[in-house]
Amino acid sequence: MNCCNRNIFGPDERFRGLERSKGFEERKELALDGHGQSLCSDGLSPFPPLCTPLDAVSTTSTRRSALTPEPPTPEDEAELEAASATSPHDPENDLEEDVAGDGSRGLSYKRFLSTIGAQYKYAQPNNWLGGDVPFPMNPSFRPPPPISDAIRQEIYNQFMTDPVENSVRKLAIRYTLAFKRVDAILRLKGLEHSWYKVGNSSFSSYVKLLLNASRNYHLGLQENKQIQYGFQKGMEKLLGVTQRRLSRLQEDASRWNVTEADSLEQDENRDAQRQRYQQHYWESVPENGREPIVPASLEHARNLAQKLVKVEDRQKSTHPLLMPRFKHIKHLRSPRRKFRTLNISGRPPVEIRDVGGKFLDVKDKFKRIAATDRQPGLRIKKHQRRQAKILETKLKHKV
């Protein structure tokens, strides 16, 4: 075997070896003997066969970037091992040795608590991470604070007292809110009051059974959920909700605090508007098993109101005093059709529709008719009193 350093394939076909140890980059020329065994230039360390005598392969070491840190030398490794052996490990020091991803040391947890985190130790209103801006990544977005529970309760009380005078539109204008938001406040407050009634100890078991049998009965009422007022008060403080001064429209709170089922409104329109937000009534029932009065009275009032509405609609079209009939003459006739369209040249078409007494106020009309009927009697009585005074004066002159 020829072990000399002989170049078989020319000067440009020499082989280069890989790194033999970590931290050293050495390039060595290899030569192949006739049996395909690779030997180092010093002829000491054999490598596995790289190629056959007919082929030649060239390998180089991995290129390192200029930004890549150099590996530690054996002297540096020895110093690090000696330092770690002499100093004991303290877990608390880890908080002071936070290292960022780029290798630079950042702010430790202890230092954060003593500097930046000190202002967030206690709860304060509007204490945002971005200072005056609630969302640092979107400083232009500054949502208004929510409405306080006191204002929502005031809106609900005003509506339940007089739904016509304090309608949804008027409440929205009064409190500068959207219509949908006022409607949502009324619905949520109605649900809250129904939960409070069911959770009350004085709520009768009979009404509970009626509510459980109802299809529209909310699942939360069956479970007797408690309303979390503490969380609400805390969030109002943190979000900086302003407590505006309540209006004095309701001087006596007992007017709306009592059960609304005691006296129903005579106007069916008001009652229909109120039923959108509150449909549960309660009544204390004695233990002798007597039937409650409120459900029957509610049903009777509802049926009576529906009958009155039908009678009123019928009177608008058939009552002779409200819709008087007249004889047809040459120049005055009742229209045979309910609507008529007039087409005039040069003008848009005009449609005339006969609505009858749809917009007629029956009560006001009857009051006017009654006042008109009293006028002739008053005139006759006034004339009789005047004639009596004239006769008295004539008798005095004769005497």
> What are the tens digits of pLDDT across the range 150-166?
899 999 999 998 888 89
Please tell me which of 12-21, 131-140, 203-212, 384-393 the model is most confident about, judged by mean pLDDT: 384-393
Q: Does position 384 have pLDDT exceeding 80, yes or no?
A: yes
Residues 6 or more apart in contact with residue 354 via CB below 8 angstroms: 335, 337, 338, 339
Please tell me which of 78-92, 105-119, 208-222, 377-391 the model is most confident about, judged by mean pLDDT: 377-391
| Bigger pLDDT: 306 vs 273 | 306
What are the residue ranges spanned by the domains of the chain? 1-60, 124-256+265-282, 353-399
CB 107 within 8 A of CB 202: no
Q: Does position 117 have pLDDT exceeding 70, yes or no?
A: yes
The tens digit of pLDDT for each residue in 86-113 reads: 555 454 444 444 544 555 556 688 888 8
* H-only helix segments in the chain: 74-86, 109-114, 149-161, 168-174, 179-199, 205-213, 219-222, 229-238, 254-257, 268-274, 294-318, 362-398
Mean pLDDT score across all residues of the chain: 67
Q: Which residue has the tokens 């005339």?
A: 352
Q: How far apart, in whole angstroms, are the C-alpha atoms of residue 246 and residue 227? A: 23
Q: How confident is the model at residue 82 (pLDDT cuts 50, 70, 90)?
A: low
In degrees and rounded to multiples of 5, residue 316 shows phi and psi of -65, -25
Residue-level pLDDT at 156: 92
CA Rg value for the chain: 49
Q: How far apart, in whole angstroms, are the C-alpha atoms of residue 188 and residue 182? A: 10
* DSSP secondary structure string for all residues of 58-104: ---PPP--SSSPPPPPHHHHHHHHHHHHHSPP-GGGGGG--B-TTS-
Amino acid identity of residue 77, one-letter, is E
CB 296 within 8 A of CB 191: no
pTM of structure: 0.35
Q: How far apart, in whole angstroms, are the C-alpha atoms of residue 115 and residue 162? A: 56
Residue-level pLDDT at 258: 39
Q: How confident is the model at residue 273 (pLDDT cuts 50, 70, 90)?
A: low
Residue-level pLDDT at 171: 92
